[in-house]
A and B are shown apart, each in its own frame.
Chain A
């Protein structure tokens, strides 16, 4: 199996996920990322998940699709998902696709954490 494309830190039901790659484009990698995130999410009830985009410079529509599946699965487990530290260019893509209405996006990890209810 190829190496992981994310790093995961868990404290109880709080889950922080950082992308390792700068580009989230390759469909095979995106599929693997989705599977890894879902596995972590499904190990918790009411997971509070923050996905940190600090290192990400490019992402494709397939990556948006995977994030939406993660969001659905988190909601299905009565959890909450936050995205943070998204570069202005990628944030613009969220706005263009209106996915900023689906996802809760914070500037920093700390504000993302503070926004959990």
Chain B
């Protein structure tokens, strides 16, 4: 495969949830467009970034303003990969109840991780669980 544009790479240290998202969303969307990701892929990736960064601030750092979130992205013509790391103690993703099970359907929270897993091609929580690696690969 020949690259239509130079691969995009970035690293950011995010101090504030909303300001952080206002930085990373437009940047990722521009890079995804430059590398030919379609609207469906852009929708999926935007949702996954949103959920990952919100979870890092809210659940990982527990809204502690002294804690940071470290975000990096790599986007080329074939894939879009992201790392989101918080400064919390981590968690075991296996302990989150499956929100699609009948007994959990009416619980209003707990769908962020599920949506990330559903929309991204590869998702890994690196122990102790405060580093999320996720990749969207264009279909072959």
Contacts and interface: CB of A to CB of B under 8 A. Distances in A.
A60 B54 contact: yes
Interface in B37-60: 39-40, 43, 46-47, 50-51, 54, 58
Contact of A93 (B47, B54, B106): B47
A40 interface: no
A60 B47 contact: yes
A65 B111 contact: yes
A27 B114 contact: no
B18 interface: yes
B9 to A, nearest CB: 25
B46 A61 contact: no
A108 to B, nearest CB: 22
A96 B115 contact: yes
B105 A60 contact: no
The A contact surface, by secondary structure, is: helix
A89 B18 contact: no
Chain A interface category by residue count? 20 to 34
Interface string B114-125: 110010000000
B139 interface: no
Contacts of B118: 96
A9 interface: no
A58 B21 CA distance: 14
Given A26-B18, A62-B54, 5 more contacts: A60-B47, A69-B108, A96-B100, A97-B99, A102-B105
Interface of A: 25-28, 57-58, 60-62, 64-66, 68-69, 72, 89, 93, 96-99, 101-102
22 contacts: A27-B58, A28-B18, A57-B43, A60-B50, A60-B51, A60-B54, A60-B112, A61-B111, A61-B114, A62-B54, A65-B109, A65-B111, A66-B108, A89-B39, A89-B40, A93-B115, A96-B100, A97-B99, A97-B111, A97-B115, A102-B105, A102-B106
